[in-house]
Chain A
Amino acid sequence: MYQTSDIKKGLKFKMDGSPWNVVEFQFVKPGKGTAFTRTKMKNLLTGQVVERNFRTGETFEPVDVETRSAQFMYQEGEHFFFMDGESYEQFPVGETAMGENAKWLVDNMECQILFYEGRAITVDVPNFVELEITYCEPAVKGDTANNATKLATLSTGATVLVPLFVEQNTVIRIDTRTGEYQGRVNK
């Protein structure tokens, strides 16, 4: 069992039938009363973030979660197939668990997959990916100074905003957490 005093960023525990991950926490002791740990936590199944105040001495169930490194192999219908980096075992991940990150997937991409009670529930792709622009409007010369942007479609089908000077067929670097253009990659 965990106790309130074990709460720290990244602690995973089970409550109300769901697995939770601590995002932020703060010691509070309002009104000279009992001490609490004000905790911002994320439901690992739904992604919902809630704030709860835990009293000193409360206990939590540990949760059966495990992160595995795996390579993306291929997609078949609603299923994304990955290969475990250690056991070479292949397994499917459903669309819900894959979520928005599906749009960054390329073959052999190394992903971190979180399993809850043996089931894949979220897939983290690398923070930065390099992808080729398959379509965008022609570059505008001499327009490197201002912040104007245009829409670009990438090889995976994802669309991102890029500066006007960027050409089609350029490989660019993107932050997958924000979906923002980071720069051109010289290849």
Chain B
Amino acid sequence: MLAATAGELTLLVDGRVLRISEVAGAHRVGDLVALRPLDAGGWAAEIVFRHPSGDYPAPGSDGMAFARGRFDALRRRAELLDRTRAWFRDAGFLEVETPLLVESPGTEVHLDPVPARLTPRPGAAPEPRWLITSPELHMKRLLAAGSPPIFQLARVFRDGERGYRHRPEFTMLEWYRPWAGYEALMEDCEGWIRTLAGSDRLVYQGRAIDLTPPWPRLRFFDALRERADVVEPERLDPDQQLMAFVDRVERTLGVDRPEFLIEWPITMASLARRAPHDPRVAERFELFIAELELGNAFGELTDAAEQRERCVSENAERREQGRPELPLDEAFLGALTDGMPPSAGIAVGIDRVIMLLTDAASIDEVVAF
């Protein structure tokens, strides 16, 4: 019978020397952390695996639990993506895939697309391309071509964005409803996230969040009045509005219940249409749960002339800020000219939704690499 304690036993498995290190405490890749007898005779060995991201378990921690934990996180991610697809299919959406490598990544002032090069034909001169910051423009071309409601899970790229909640490459869930207003998207959010959560109560980072619908809708200017004590927020310039929002409003959003921040100033909504009842605001909302900014939605702008004007002025602002001007997407503008039905669309950072539903503090915990 084989009896061993930590540090006493060394054995050869598949040509590698392994040793028991559970008591010694410092696990490295290939260390044996447990050895147990099997009913059928013989022994089962548990070995520390390296996580694909290159992380190692902390010295002295349980190496197997670490490895299991990382794969559990990936399994939960896969499940949530599966159930998301199922929810949208059941709701009558068609799943689509659109190009990631494009000639025009959109002119959004505060997004920096990642540049790429493409040789279009054998032997041809390489041409500039971009990786998309969102699949929005192509999905709207599908709407203009008469598509049913559509959704997509796409990889998107945003240069220079990195933090606990940002990665330069992440996964976006976008969905669009033709012939619908943006209120329909709020109901989609409520239905889909409650289905994923499986209950109307969620705990994120020690705080309980009540998911009972309908989730409160809060107007942008009302939020500045009520939570930032600004008397006439409509009269501030766009810069001051954004600062008041960042300094005093954002961290109050979605704390006990999810909140939709609706009707953003027209200056902060480049692809959204004006609200019919108030020309100062646009049909734009953002969804916040537990301070996490999860999604951004528009009642889509479908007026080709106004869209072209906004793209040109965005490029002018980019130039002023010393950012490269970006080519206008003529195919997209052409599709608007031919006619796009009134539609509503939303982009959700699905990695953050997974963070929320798996109680992960950092986006790095919910991706493989």
Contacts and interface: CB of A to CB of B under 8 A. Distances in A.
A38 B160 CA distance: 16
Give the bracket for the number of chain A residues in contact with chain B.
10 to 19
Contacts of A33: 110, 242, 268
A177 interface: no
Interface stretch (A24-32, A125-133, A137-145, A163-171): A24-32
B163 A32 contact: no
A93 interface: no
Interface stretch (B22-30, B36-44, B244-252, B332-340): B244-252
Nearest to B270: A32
Interface in A11-55: 26-36, 38, 53
Contacts of A28: 163, 165, 246, 250
Contact of B166 (A29, A34, A38, A53): A29
Interface residues of B, number: 21
Contacts of A38: 246
Chain B's interface: helix, strand, loop or mixed, by majority? mixed
A31 B268 contact: yes
Contact of A32 (B108, B165, B243, B247): B108
B166 A27 contact: yes
B110 A35 contact: yes
A27 to B, nearest CB: 3
B162 interface: yes
A31 B262 CA distance: 11
Contacts, number: 46
B161 A30 contact: no
Interface in B143-173: 160-166
B174 interface: no
Contact of A29 (B110, B164, B243, B268): B110
A32 B242 CA distance: 10
A34 B246 CA distance: 10
B293 interface: yes
Contact of B245 (A26, A29, A31): A31
Interface in B108-126: 108, 110-111
Contacts of A34: 110, 242
Nearest to A56: B160
Interface in B306-320: none
Nearest to B243: A53
A70 B109 CA distance: 52
A27 B247 CA distance: 14
A30 B108 contact: no
Interface string B253-293: 00000000000100010000000000000000010000001
Contact of B161 (A26, A31, A35, A53): A35
B296 interface: yes
Given A27-B164, A29-B161, A30-B250, 8 more contacts: A26-B163, A28-B165, A28-B250, A30-B246, A31-B242, A31-B268, A34-B110, A53-B247
Interface of B: 108, 110-111, 160-166, 242-243, 245-247, 250, 264, 268, 286, 293, 296
23 contacts: A26-B165, A27-B162, A27-B164, A27-B165, A27-B166, A28-B163, A28-B165, A28-B246, A30-B242, A30-B245, A30-B250, A31-B245, A31-B296, A32-B268, A33-B110, A33-B268, A35-B160, A35-B161, A36-B246, A38-B246, A53-B243, A53-B246, A53-B247
Interface of A: 26-36, 38, 53
